[in-house]
Structures are given as C-alpha cells and as structure tokens.
Amino acid sequence: YTCGAKTHLITNCKNSNCHRRMVQCEHCQDAFYGTCSEGCKTRIVNEGLGPKVGKSSSDKSPLFATIPEEEKKEESEDVTYSTLDDYSSAHSTEAAPLLREIETNTAAFLPSGAHMVSGSMQGSLLSMLASTSREGRILEIGTFTGYATACFL
C-alpha cells in the first residue's frame, strides 16, 4: 500500500527495473505515475515515461522539462546519477543483438510477462560472474524466455 487507503486495485510498478506487485488506490496511481515509490517515480520521469502535459492527446511535451542531448554534452564532465542502474547503463556496453532480439520478441509475444526478462544490467552481471568461474559449467533453473541463459553463452 502506498497511502494505506482501502482499494481493490492490484498492479505492478511501471518502473522497468522494479515491477514490484502492489496494492495502490487510484489517487496514488496518478500521483506516483503507476510506480511504487518516489524513487521509481523519479526514474520514470527521468526516462521521459511520465505523464504528458496538455489538454489534447497530440501534445507530446513531458511533465518535466528535459535537457536536449546537445546541451547535456556541453555541461561539465561531473555527471551525477540518480540511481545505480543509471550509472551502470551509462558505463556498460550495449547488449548483444541476440539479447535485444529476445527482449523484443518477449515484448511482442508475451507482453504481460515482458517485465520478467532479466535485462541488460542483470545480463551483464551474469556474464561477468560466469566468466570468473573456473568450473565452466552453470546450471540455471527457472528460465523464462532464455535471456539469462543466453548471457551465459
């Protein structure tokens, strides 16, 4: 519960890295943009996934102003990251084409379960951990669409 009000609305957090199952009243769903906490709400807003301002559905301006990419590059090199995941994403290589294809296909064919894909940050960690193992064998239990398993290849 976000505010503790009685409700029957059960949903998952809209933050792609959280997806926590939650009970949330309509007021809190609007106030938190469908996320479970202020931290998840901030992430959604920073990614530009928050609600749109304007009276018409054609208005695409975000609720909070975003800095154009050109202006971001002109800023000083002292970059502050709001979450560990933002930092990791900024300092990691892109996911392999096979992994992107698994994510795309999962979203297309299993949209209600797309949030269960491990994702690039977890995949990078799994690959790194697997590469440090001297055994050369890994047993994975509970594969969904094979993203994490493909990270071990």
Cβ-based neighbours of 120, under 8 Å, separated by 6 or more: 89, 92, 94, 95, 99
13-30 pLDDT, tens digit per residue, is 888 777 777 888 888 888
More confident residue, 130 or 78: 130
- Among 113, 98, 104, smallest CA distance to 152 is for 98
What rounded mean pLDDT belongs to the chain?
76
Q: Is the pTM of this model over 0.75?
A: no
Q: What is the DSSP letter of 23?
A: E
- The Cα–Cα gap between 68 and 42 comes to 18
55-106 pLDDT, tens digit per residue, is 444 444 444 444 455 544 554 467 788 888 888 888 888 888 899 999 999 9
CB-facing half-sphere around the CA of 121: CA atoms within 13 A? 12
